[in-house]
Amino acid sequence: METIHRDDDAWRLTDRDGEQWGPFDQLLVSPPAPQTAALWAAADWDDPRRAALAETVEDVRYRTVWTAVLRYDFRLDVPYYALVDVEKEHPVGWISREECKAGHVPDDETVLIVQAGGEWSTDNYDRDPATNVASLADHAADIVGDDRLRDPTWTDHQGWRYALPQEAVDTEPLTAAEDAGVYHLGDWVPGEARLHAALRDGLETGERLVESL
Ligand SMILES: Cc1cc2nc3c(=O)[nH]c(=O)nc-3n(C[C@H](O)[C@H](O)[C@H](O)COP(=O)(O)OP(=O)(O)OC[C@H]3O[C@@H](n4cnc5c(N)ncnc54)[C@H](O)[C@@H]3O)c2cc1C
């Protein structure tokens, strides 16, 4: 969705193709905080709650994640599925082996997911992806202790600039907006970057909405 409109007592939406949706009595807003803030910054709602929402939601800080996927023509012989940097001090936060998942990787191959930590991901997010992949392959080789990991035969990568919300939003403007029939939900509301947190927030929001009817 691209634009939120409020007219009379109804919510309407316009998508990126210009198609109009609505009218709706209630509006549930579930994009991540940066996209939600942008929606409210551009919204057509002549009410002080609009600016309060845009400003408050924009304040939610996120951790960035950059990930390399590395394939090798040999099966790595190590006694674990994954390594995790619980101290969050290393450039790499997570390394896992896709071949440990049944049916994902041919018998004599290895596919590593190498997920960089927040600081490394932020610092290198806009760098040439090939350089990032090579750097993460070197880190994987050093961490696992196998020089063959420096030379993957195939690679892929994915970055999430706004991956993991780091703090809960100030809920006061969100609660004030609920009187106008607009509800916000997602992991950034409780500030816990976990599926179960997003699900719980969605269920609780649904209950509040039902009670308001
Ligand atoms: C790399 C990575 C690894 C993770 N690993 C784990 C894990 O192991 N365990 C775990 O529990 N959690 C993990 N998480 C966190 C988990 O993915 C999130 O907490 C969860 O997906 C949040 O759900 P959500 O519904 O709040 O947001 P999202 O899942 O981000 O859903 C938001 C939706 O809004 C849509 N959207 C955006 N803008 C608009 C718009 N303008 N109009 C309409 N729709 C829009 C998006 O397309 C998206 O579908 C991980 C996250 C990342 C990035």
Quick one: pLDDT at residue 8?
Answer: 83
Residue with CA at minimum distance from ligand 1 atom 21:
195
- Best residue among 17, 30, 167, 183 to mutate for probing ligand 1, ranked by most atoms within 8 Å of CB: 30
Residue with CA at minimum distance from ligand 1 atom 6:
194
Place of tokens 């907006």: 177
Mean pLDDT of 147-158: 98
What DSSP letter does each residue of 143-164 carry, written as one string?
HHT-GGGGS-SEEEEEEEEEEE
How do 10-14 and 3-7 pair as beta strands? antiparallel
**CA 31 – ligand 1 centroid, Å:** 8
- Sketch out the chain's domains with CATH numbers: 3-60+166-212 (3.50.50.60), 62-164 (3.90.660.10)
Mean pLDDT of 122-134: 98
Q: Distance (Å, rounded) from C-alpha 83 to C-alpha 96?
A: 6
Instruction: Tell me the pLDDT tens digit for each residue of 168-191.
Output: 999 999 999 999 999 999 999 999
Average pLDDT, the chain: 97
Question: Per-residue b/e over 102-138, b at no fewer than 16 CB within 10 Å?
Answer: eeebeeebbbbbbbbbbebbbebeeeebeebbbbbbe
Q: Distance (Å, rounded) from C-alpha 44 to C-alpha 55?
A: 16
List helix spans (H) across 30-161.
Answer: 33-41, 48-58, 118-124, 129-144
Confidence band for 162, pLDDT divided at 50, 70 and 90: very high
Specify the ligand 1 atom closest to the Cα of 38. Answer: 41
Percent of the chain with pLDDT over 70: 100
For residue 100, what is the DSSP state?
G
Mean pLDDT of 127-143: 98
Instruction: Tell me the pLDDT tens digit for each residue of 43-93.
Output: 999 999 999 999 999 999 999 999 999 999 999 999 999 999 999 889 999
